[in-house]
Structure 1
Amino acid sequence: MNTEQQEYISLISRSTHDDILIKKTGWEAINFQEHAHKKFQIIYTLSGTLHVETGGVNYFVPEKHIAWIPEKASHKLSSNSRQVSLIIFYINLNITPDDGKNRFSIYSTNGIIAENLKFIASKGKVITRGKQTDLYNFALSFFNLLPQMTLGADFLLKTLVIPNDSRLHPILNYITEHIHEDLNMEQIASQYNLSVRNLSRLFNTSGIHFSSYVNHLRITRAIELLTDGDNTVQEVAYKVGFNTPNNFNRVFKQVTGKSPKTYIKGI
């Protein structure tokens, strides 16, 4: 986390209950270490993709989606996209403890939602109730209604759980770093001086299915590459470790419910 990011988190802490803070990132790297703040954080991925780690789970937020982070929720933010642009809102919402809005969520957007987000963001860095009453009330009502205006993001809620067993952490990091290669249990077990049986037991006790985990990582990375726009679907298929584009298309549709071309057209 750089100095500017630290100063902005401090600014959130100093803001009043009736301030809505708005931050726009440029085409920059995103790397916020674990932190929390007193307001709800609502992030719109204008361009690029985002990873949000919270509650021991790593969530993936594609382009043109919304990450809904409740107040006081500890979280990390990062991105593997070459360049990423975000619109971030920090707001106090009067929500009861048992309300579903107090859970981390990922939402897809539509034209109406996107235009309202851009409209609110165009009004400056801070919206204050006392000085901009009508605008403040509009923004407050919009964000309170936002979860009802859009469906959840389907496959995106199938998240990657970060295991408590520290023995798996370097193994999962290795898989992530070598996702473009032909990975299998035998090779990875050998890499870490384990038997295939013992490695399988480590995965099973942590609730991780090896092939599903690898496929999820590959499709996540594929979406990042497709969003950057520098590669064809066929090039992306090989870059994320698939032997043939047909196999890539099949797995992509299994995970997202859409073909790669249909998915990209929709964002």
Structure 2
Amino acid sequence: MNQEQESYISLINRTSRETIRIKKTGWEEINLSGHTHGQYQIVYTLSGTLHVQIGSTNYFVPEKHIAWIPGCTEHKLCSNNRQTSLVIFYLSLDSDGGDEALKDFSIYHTDSFVAENLKFIASKGTEINREDTPDLYAFALGFFRLLPSISQNMGFLLKTLTIPNDARLHPILAYLQEHLQENLKMPQLAEHFGFSVRNLSRLFNESGIRFSYYVNNLRIMRAIELFADGGKTMQQIAYEVGFTTPNNFNRVFRQITGMSPNAFMKND
């Protein structure tokens, strides 16, 4: 984390509970190490995609989606896209009223209604103060409080990748991430890292990782990242992430996301 990022997080922690702070990132690299603050953080991926790590779980947020991060939740942010643009809102919310949706990390899809309201609120500058603009503050706070109930919770995206405690798996999983275009099979992987197939299979199982599902999940996430980068056909992306045919890509994409690649792109 650089000095500018540290200064901004310090500013967030000093922000009044009656202020909504707004930050817009340009077309820039996103790589923010673990940090926490008392404010709720609502991240809108205007362009590009985002990875949010909370504890040992890495969540994936596609383009035109929202990451809802409750206050006092330690998290890391990064992106594998060439360029990423975000709109981030920081605010205080009283979640003691029994609304469980406010208390949990979630990923939401933005329809046109949600997107237009986010853009309207973001157009009001870097902060909205209750004292200065009480009506605007009340509207924005009410909108964010209702956001979990008016947005589509992208449940499939919560079936994300757990970072295993066993350090022996870390280089293996990094290898999978870097070689998605190859025909990844357990026997070849075991030989490459000096394991027997039986021992490597046991290592995956003990960490709660299903090998084929994990690989397919990585491939589909990378495909969604490539969608956001643009410049490639669906067929080119399918081959680049390791599928031998577009039909196979379409089938696995639907299994993981619940929709076809074309439907997903239109949904964005």
> Hey, what does 1:151 align to over in structure 2?
152
Distance in structure 2 (CA, Å) of the matches to 1:63 and 1:94: 28
**Does residue 19 of structure 1 match 2:10?**
no
Once the two structures are TM-superposed, the CA of residue 232 in structure 1 deviates from its matched residue by 0.2
Q: Distance in 1 between matches of 2:92 and 2:250?
A: 42
CA distance in 2, matches of 1:9, 1:187: 45
- Deviation string 1:33-82 (CA, Å, 9 cap, x unpaired) is 00000100000111110000002100000011100001010000000111
* Superimposed CA distance per residue, residues 92-117 of structure 1 (whole angstroms, 9 cap, x where no aligned partner): 00111863311111111111111111
2:265 is matched with which residue? 264
- Whether the aligned pair in 1 keeps the contact of 2:41 and 2:71 (CA below 8 Å) is yes
5+ residue gaps, structure 2:
none
Give CA-to-partner distance per residue, 1:187-220, whole Å, 9 cap, x none: 1111111000000001101111000000000000
In 2: Cα distance, 1:218 partner to 1:210 partner: 12
User: What CA distance in whole angstroms lies between the structure 1 residues aligned with 2:19 and 2:167?
Assistant: 41
Identical positions, percent: 61
- Report the number of matched residues: 267
Alpha-carbon distance between aligned partners in 1 of 2:122 and 2:152, rounded to the nearest angstrom: 22
Per the normalisation by structure 2, the TM-score is: 0.97
Q: Please say which of residues 144-153 and 4-13 is displaced more in the overlay.
A: 4-13
Tell me whether 1:73 sits opposite 2:73 in the alignment: yes
Q: Is this contact kept in 2: 1:227–1:264, CA < 8 A?
A: no
Write the distance in 1 (CA, Å) between the matches of 2:267 and 2:111: 10
Counterpart for residue 115 of structure 2: 114
Amino acid at match of 2:155: D
| Residue identity in the other structure for 1:200 | S
TM-score, normalising length: structure 1: 0.97
SS, match of residue 244 in structure 2: coil
The two structures, once aligned, show a CA RMSD in angstroms of 1.1
Equivalent residue letter for 2:122: A
Q: Is the 8 A contact 1:63 1:227 kept in 2?
A: yes
- The corresponding residue for 2:206 is 205
- Match in the other structure for 1:46: 46
Aligned residue for 1:222, secondary structure, equals helix
- Is 1:132 the counterpart of 2:96? The answer is no
Alignment CA distance shift 1:97-1:195 (3 Å): farther
The CA deviation at 1:151 is: 2.1
Q: Is the 8 A contact 2:48 2:228 kept in 1?
A: yes
